[in-house]
Structure 1
Amino acid sequence: MSLVASTATTATAATAAAASPAAPSAAPAAAGGAGASVTATALPQATTFTQLSGLPQDTDTFGKLSGVVVHPVRTVAVHAQPGGKPAATLPAKQLGSLTWVPVVEARKGWYRVLLPSKPNHVTGWISAKGLKKARSRYRAIVKLGTRQLTVMKASKKLGTWTVAVGGPQTPTPVGRTFLLALMSPKKKTYSPLILPLGAHSQTLDTFGGGPGTVAFHGWPDRKVFGQAVTHGCVRVPARALKVLAGLPLGTPVLIAP
């Protein structure tokens, strides 16, 4: 398996976000708070390639997310507290896909969202002004102990599959995260699609030239399914990969022990 390497070796699976099956339909969120768009700034970007500091951690790492997801139509400021000094920025796109992030807390005119950066479970507040808002009825649940993936649509189970997870030295990180992007390798490789998550390996600072981003992806040898042998990613059967690729970006993913 491979953790996400870099955008130089991958391309998006969808040519236009509006037409992408992984982009949720959305309506503008209620406006409020300070102006959200940011142009030029020296602040770090909240992407899968960055390490952020000065922002709150998700304290309910195994809680069920509501499914509310938001998309910044432009780069927006990320704050440690609503209306506070910006600590980072969140771009409208990353890894070739539109940025959709799940909401973990809401206040009037503000959303606290899960971010795709290191450390795992980092969150930040963004102004509701200039965001698009949607709700994903889907969620994906990975149980490391049984090495199973289940995909749900509301209360309906879309399927359960036996998968391969991280090995003893490179475990798959636990907690709640989300589908960050949908990518397709330019060259034929171990998987036709790679779905990066908003989480990183906690034992590998980098892998394959990239930041150690954990992802769902396929694998050509079915013998690996049911084993703890990966570098942190979750290898899934072809049918499971097809179902995952149809989920909206920002969809909650829970990785349980």
Structure 2
Amino acid sequence: MLAGALLLALLTGCGSAPAPPAAAPEQPPAQARVVTADLPEATTFGDLSEAPADPAPQQPTDGTVLRVHDELALYDAPDGEPFARLPATQLENPTWVPVVETRGQWSRVLLPSRPTGATGWVRPEPGQAEPARSPYEVEVDVDAMRMVVRESGREIGSWTVGVGGEGTPTPRGRTYMMAAIEETVTTFSPVILPLGTHSQTLTSYGGGPGTVALHGWPDSSVFGTASSDGCVRVPDDALDLLTTLPLGTLVLLR
């Protein structure tokens, strides 16, 4: 678990072709030829201006997520140009990212970096990553200040929540649960759930990158108000449920 002091710096307050002729050696896939160490990392600290934008930021997915075991090169399109690398861990948690589109052996995934809505295409080699599926979806209606959690399309919980204030609004779009961090310094929430999205008005907070999160709050009067620095504040029983959901679970901020 990440130390609480570092956490405070992160949050805004509160993702076969035929063989060539025998005379020529078989060429490896494009991704295998990429020297990933030369590429910037796709983490919550990164700013990937070359990343393609999410083409459908308000659409749900089929729940497919990708567990990254070994860092992957990220491409701007299938068979396109590499622009970053996706590491196997995020904030000392394993990397799980939602798949939002597939084309043959290529998968388009949501990324944890700025700009909000950044995506990248990956084509994992055997052992680099494995697909799984999360049946869960978290939806936050920012204007109504209401959060709903669904399992296989069935509602399993809903709550009134707190959202970002007028000057520090909660960003909209689809993102995901990037990590789960046990808080050891402050007492406002026992667990923080950073998302793969950032504040649109705060470029940094406490020296960190302005990562938005789901987290608890000790004063229930904040629920139903727009008063946070962009994070979504949730009641205790909502947090209890959220902490049981797998990383990579889709979060729709509407």
> Structure 2 length normalisation: TM-score?
0.86
Structure 2 equivalent of residue 165 of structure 1: 163
1:50 aligns with one of 22, 46, 65: 46
SS at match of 2:221: helix
The one-character-per-residue Cα deviations of 1:195-235 (angstroms, maximum 9, x if unpaired) are 00010000000012210000000001011100000000000
1:126 and 1:205 map into 2 onto residues whose CA distance is: 28
Q: Is the contact made by 1:37 and 1:75 (CA closer than 8 Å) also made in structure 2?
A: no
Measure how far apart 1:37 and its partner are.
Answer: 9.4
2:164 and 2:141 map into 1 onto residues whose CA distance is: 12
Shifted more, 113-122 versus 125-134: the winner is 125-134
The one-character-per-residue Cα deviations of 1:75-102 (angstroms, maximum 9, x if unpaired) are 1100101222210000000111111001
The Cα RMSD (Å) is 2.1
1:103 aligns with 2:73: no
2:251 and 2:33 map into 1 onto residues whose CA distance is: 28
Max Rg structure: 2
2:104 and 2:239 map into 1 onto residues whose CA distance is: 38
- Structure 2 runs not aligned, ≥5 long: 9-27
Structure 2 equivalent of residue 118 of structure 1: 114
AA aligned to 2:157 is: G
The structure-2 alpha-carbon separation of the partners of 1:10 and 1:203, relative to structure 1 and needing over 3 Å to count, comes to closer
Runs of 4 or more consecutive aligned structure 1 residues displaced over 3 Å after TM superposition: 5-8, 32-40
1:133 aligns with one of 131, 147, 151: 131
2:181 aligns with one of 180, 183, 196: 183
The percentage of counterpart residues that share the same residue type is 48
Structure 1 equivalent of residue 240 of structure 2: 242
2:227 and 2:72 map into 1 onto residues whose CA distance is: 39
Measure how far apart 1:158 and its partner are.
Answer: 1.2
> Structure 1 length normalisation: TM-score?
0.85
The structure-2 alpha-carbon separation of the partners of 1:254 and 1:40, relative to structure 1 and needing over 3 Å to count, comes to closer
2:49 and 2:207 map into 1 onto residues whose CA distance is: 23
Q: Is the contact made by 1:38 and 1:75 (CA closer than 8 Å) also made in structure 2?
A: no
Alignment of 1:79-90 (within 5 A): 79-90=75-86
Measure how far apart 1:131 and its partner are.
Answer: 1.3
- Structure 1 runs not aligned, ≥5 long: 12-31
AA aligned to 2:70 is: R
